[in-house]
Amino acid sequence: MSRAAERLRLLTAQLDRPWAQIVSFYPALNMRRPRCPTAALRHAGAPLAGLKWRREPLLEAPPVFLTSEPSSAAALRSSFPRRFRYTSDTGVLSPEQRLFYEQNGFILIKNLVSEEDIDRFRKEFERLCREEVKIPGLVMMRDVAILKSEFVADQKAVSKIQDFQEDPELFRYCTLPQILKYVECFTGANIMAMHTMLINKPPDAGKKTSRHPMHQDLHYFPFRPVDKIVCAWTAMEKVNRENGCLVVLPGTHTGTLQEHDYPEWEGGVNKMYHGVRNYDPQHPRVHLEMEKGDTVFFHPLLIHGSGMNQTQGFRKAISCHYASADCYYIDVKGTTQENIEKEVGELAARKYAVAGDLTFQDTWAFRGRLVQGERISL
Ligand SMILES: CC(C)CC(=O)SCCNC(=O)CCNC(=O)[C@H](O)C(C)(C)COP(=O)(O)OP(=O)(O)OC[C@H]1O[C@@H](n2cnc3c(N)ncnc32)[C@H](O)[C@@H]1OP(=O)(O)O
Ligand SMILES: Nc1ncnc2c1ncn2[C@@H]1O[C@H](COP(=O)(O)OP(=O)(O)OP(=O)(O)O)[C@@H](O)[C@H]1O
Ligand SMILES: O=C(O)CCC(=O)C(=O)O
Ligand SMILES: [Fe+2]
Ligand SMILES: [Mg+2]
């Protein structure tokens, strides 16, 4: 064995994952595939180092030999005759990127949204906070830890806005062609924007309420099929462990929807921030550190959350949940989603003042907007 190959063997042993997976990780981060083991070793100080992976790959990968491995996409395709379940080939995701999503349930695309667009979203957000504009249906949420403090009409009061589908400037995010191009790989060509958010994670007030508990977004959604739903989440500034980046449990999208409830946190939990029951803190986590404009696409069963914001800044991200327009509504009665249905029902009754008449499905149907193709069943 050459020295380089030997060092790589040590590296992969350290990382607990096979070389095929390490290689597949590179395109997913928009990094060029390492040409040789030494190049991989050089990179290992970068994003690979912090990762700990399951011992078994989720898809059985055939062994890949370093010396003879062709780097072309075609070779990878031929070594994976198995049909992909979560993605389709629209010529946008490379086979490596598809494989990464299939195995991990998320994919990070660097530098997808321009600075200029993000600055415009930020300006609009600030206008909303100063109450210079009023948008029908838009929800402004304050952090539970500062609810009782004095109201100031600026961004300090707002931890999150939801349902900005009637704000043309913010909704432009959901229609950006470079985002839809990726979304189509998961949803197909007919695309609905179902849920919109701008998260302004505040500096933690000392009670850890700025955390978002680990959850699966599907818990909130009464539509299916699950694999035709995807979230796009774009960092509006550098996000890292310090200011509370996203934390994901890779591979959990292959599981089922779990029971969710409010976590038992001493300092309190924000309204509707349900977390998975029996969260296992031992499960391997990945912190998604991102630069302004980087965008992660993730599956609605992927368990994720975000840590505490330990900085003095407001950590900002903008996101949209998309679904295929072919998705259909389901009745969640008798399922684990009954608790969230009930809470949403109570809020909707207050907000829209049409108590009783509005179903959980209705609350989604009137917020959803077509962004590409044809509106079918949602
Ligand atoms: C995939 C995706 C869907 C995942 C998620 O989005 S998870 C998080 C989802 N969270 C939500 O959807 C919550 C959305 N927020 C809201 O609807 C609103 O901000 C509300 C919580 C209803 C507050 O509305 P607002 O107009 O401010 O109404 P009020 O000031 O009159 O407050 C009404 C009662 O709510 C309480 N409240 C307000 N903000 C929070 C909070 N952050 N955490 C816990 N409780 C809260 C407030 O204290 C008040 O309670 P009472 O005085 O009535 O007992
Ligand atoms: N009991 C729990 N139920 C659900 N989610 C939880 C629970 N405890 C922590 N989390 C979530 O786990 C994720 C990791 O948070 P945590 O603060 O524990 O670690 P971290 O921020 O990654 O690490 P560090 O604070 O050391 O940098 C966050 O999304 C947090 O909300
Ligand atoms: O930006 C974050 O903190 C994550 C929010 C999130 O996962 C959600 O609202 O569903
Ligand atoms: Fe989420
Ligand atoms: Mg933390």
Question: What pLDDT, in 10s, does the model give residues 94-142?
Answer: 989 999 999 999 999 999 999 999 999 999 999 999 889 999 999 999 8
Q: Is the pLDDT of residue 77 over 50?
A: no
Please choose from 211, 286, 306 the residue to mutate so as to test ligand 2's pocket, defined by most ligand atoms within 8 A of CB: 211
Give the ligand 2 atom nearest the CA of 214.
Answer: 5
Question: SS3 for the chain, per residue?
Answer: CCHHHHHHHHHHHHHCCCHHHHHHHHHHCCCCCCCCHHHHHHHHHHHHCCCCCCCCCCCCCCCCCCCCCCCCHHHHHHHCCCCCCCCCCCCCCCHHHHHHHHHHCEEEECCCCCHHHHHHHHHHHHHHHCCCCCCCCCEEECCHHHCCCCCCCCHHHCCEEECCCCCHHHHHHHHCHHHHHHHHHHHCCCEEEEEEEEEEECCCCCCCCCCEEEECHHHHCCEECHHHEEEEEEECCCECCCCCCEEECCCHHHCCCCCEECCCCCCCCCCCCCEECCCCCCCCCEEECECCCCEEEECCCCCEEECCCCCCCCEEEEEEEEEECCCEECCCCCCCCHHHHHHHHHHHHHHHCCCCCCCHHHHHHCCCEEEECCCCCC
Give the ligand 1 atom nearest the CA of 350.
Answer: 22
Q: Is the pLDDT of residue 201 over 70?
A: yes
Question: If you measure from the C-alpha of residue 335 to the centroid of ligand 3, how many angstroms do you get, rounded to a whole number?
Answer: 23
291 pLDDT tier (thresholds 50, 70, 90): very high
Give pLDDT, residue 205.
86
Minimum CA distance residue for ligand 3 atom 6: 305
Please choose from 271, 274, 364 the residue to mutate so as to test ligand 1's pocket, defined by most ligand atoms within 8 A of CB: 271
- What pTM was estimated for this model as a whole? 0.81
Question: If you measure from the C-alpha of residue 220 to the centroid of ligand 4, how many angstroms do you get, rounded to a whole number?
Answer: 9
Residue ranges around ligand 3 (CB below 6 Å): 197, 199, 201, 212, 217, 246, 304, 306, 317
ipTM: 0.91
Minimum CA distance residue for ligand 3 atom 10: 217
Domain 86-372 falls under CATH 3.90.76.10: no
59 pLDDT tier (thresholds 50, 70, 90): very low
Question: If you measure from the C-alpha of residue 174 to the centroid of ligand 2, how many angstroms do you get, rounded to a whole number?
Answer: 29
Give the ligand 3 atom nearest the CA of 305.
Answer: 7
The pocket of ion ligand 5, defined by CB under 5 A, consists of 307-308
Question: What pLDDT, in 10s, does the model give residues 31-58?
Answer: 556 655 556 555 544 334 333 333 333 3
Question: If you measure from the C-alpha of residue 148 to the centroid of ligand 3, how many angstroms do you get, rounded to a whole number?
Answer: 23
